[in-house]
Amino acid sequence: MGGVCCCFSEPVDFDAEVTLYHFDLHRAVGKGAFGKVRVVEHKRSKKLYALKYIDKAKCIRQKAVANIIQERRLLEEIDHPFIVNLRYAFQDDENCFFVLDLMLGGDLRFHLERKGHIPEDVVRFWIAELSCALEYLHRKRIIHRDLKPDNILLDAMGHAHITDFNVAIHYSERRLHTSVAGSMAYMAPQVVGRKGYSWQIDWWSLGVTAYELLFHRRPFDGRNAEKMTQSILKDPLRFPESASSRCSEAGIAALRGFIERDPEKRLGCRPKGQGIKDIRAHPWFASIDWDSLERKECQPPFVPDMKQANFDVSHELDEFLMVEKPLTHTKRRANPDLDKMKPELRQLEEQFTVYDFTSSRRLSYYPHNQPVVTVGTSSDDTERTATQSINGTATIAERSQAGSPALDITTVPMTALFSYGTDPLSLYPP
């Protein structure tokens, strides 16, 4: 049978539904709230991927089941050159698995900390690529809500990709969202001020990210959540004294355009996808060949050093020292009785469905929105359940009823699941 491979005594049927047995497990390269990420190799195609696996028991304890299902569904909709795309999804009795594009170039936090700051031509190139990804997501009615250096990964060539859709949601065209989600230092005024927001907040976060990459500091800061909120809402946008030596006038103008408190004036925010034209026409991006860029034909100005590991080797040590149970291939229980399962386990069983990019069609789980009628801007529809971290790395979310599934989580950053370099939690002490 052509679709069967025999490994040891266990035959693998590649024509059957995808399981962990379809992959060889290699080294762990990241760690997050519910599990780890390791490099895996598809046994038949020999392609390498990143396997993100999530412990169901931990997920249930942290009340993150709806969140994981939402991430799984959103990823099924997405396929873009500058996004870490989902290739397979499946589960066994203990874990839910995401198999994603492998990015071995490290995250931007890793490179920022190693270099101190990033040259302007490199930042401009990454921001151009990320702009293409954001415009694509917004056309899909998706807000990422957690854009920051930790959530941007480089491939071996140096191209930038958005990852971690842990708090991403579909936006509503009928009302604004009021739930607080993301990493506070990168949140737009509309989020921290609870005035209601939509897709425009991602462009603010992109601007803050660009500012931090250029100057190795953030434009707004504070020693606690209240002070940071006030800084984001009221402080003027200032630049370091050395800014002119690191960034051109056009670059400063672009940062001012992205980090604009009024979303209607923010760079990239003209409605109906017209904002990307403003970005492409901006003087800062004059050197960008956008057509070649989108085809990934442009040579990135920075290429990661692939001779060194861009991740923390201690992730593997945990399993070697038996600090935690290592991931192994295990057979599922045959015909589990859904009626006898706990509600959360049953929800995962029914809704974290199998996905295989070689045979599944990408689908949207979100119905078409109705035209705008009224826009709610109060925060009365939000039940606040999250505690906030101000170090700019912890990802938070609240339960919201503004056109998105219920989120009820406070997590250690899922960004760690794809952070191949320095632990971001150690970089900015409270």
CATH of the domain at 352: 3.30.200.20
CATH (domain of 298) = 1.10.510.10
Q: Is residue 384 included in any domain, yes or no?
A: yes
Has 93 been annotated as catalytic? no
> What residue ranges of the chain have pLDDT lower than 70?
1-10, 32-34, 309-327, 329-330, 332-339, 366-430
Residue 44: which domain range?
12-103+309-356
User: How many distinct structural domains can be found in the chain?
Assistant: 2
Using an 8 Å Cβ cutoff, are 60 and 69 in contact?
no
CB atoms within 10 A of CB 276: 18
Whether residue 142 is found in the same domain as residue 186: yes
Q: Which tokens hold the place of 59?
A: 């997920």
Q: Which tokens hold the place of 3?
A: 């679709």
Using an 8 Å Cβ cutoff, are 154 and 105 in contact?
yes
For residue range 231-267, list pLDDT tens digits in order: 999 999 999 999 999 999 999 999 999 999 999 999 9
Residues shown for the chain: 430
Residue 322 has a pLDDT of 43
Whether residue 315 is found in the same domain as residue 175: no
For residue 82, what are the contacts with CB-CB under 8 A and spacing of at least 6?
Answer: 129, 130, 132, 133, 159, 160, 161, 162
Q: Is residue 4 included in any domain, yes or no?
A: no
Whether residue 212 is found in the same domain as residue 265: yes
For residue 237, what are the contacts with CB-CB under 8 A and spacing of at least 6?
Answer: 219, 255, 256, 259
Whether residue 236 is found in the same domain as residue 332: no
Whether residue 27 is found in the same domain as residue 71: yes
Whether residue 151 is found in the same domain as residue 293: yes
Residue 149 has a pLDDT of 96
Q: Is residue 276 included in any domain, yes or no?
A: yes
Active-site entry in 146, 164, 202, 312: 146
Q: Which tokens hold the place of 131?
A: 């702009």
CB atoms within 10 A of CB 363: 10
Whether residue 333 is found in the same domain as residue 225: no
Whether residue 225 is found in the same domain as residue 291: yes
Q: Is residue 227 included in any domain, yes or no?
A: yes
Whether residue 43 is found in the same domain as residue 135: no
Whether residue 228 is found in the same domain as residue 157: yes
Residue 310 has a pLDDT of 61
Whether residue 129 is found in the same domain as residue 87: no
For residue range 317-365, list pLDDT tens digits in order: 454 444 455 667 667 666 666 667 788 888 898 899 999 998 887 777 7
Q: Is residue 5 included in any domain, yes or no?
A: no
Q: Is residue 428 included in any domain, yes or no?
A: no
295 conformational bin, left if phi > 0, alpha if psi -120 to 50, beta if neither: alpha
52 is in an annotated binding site: yes
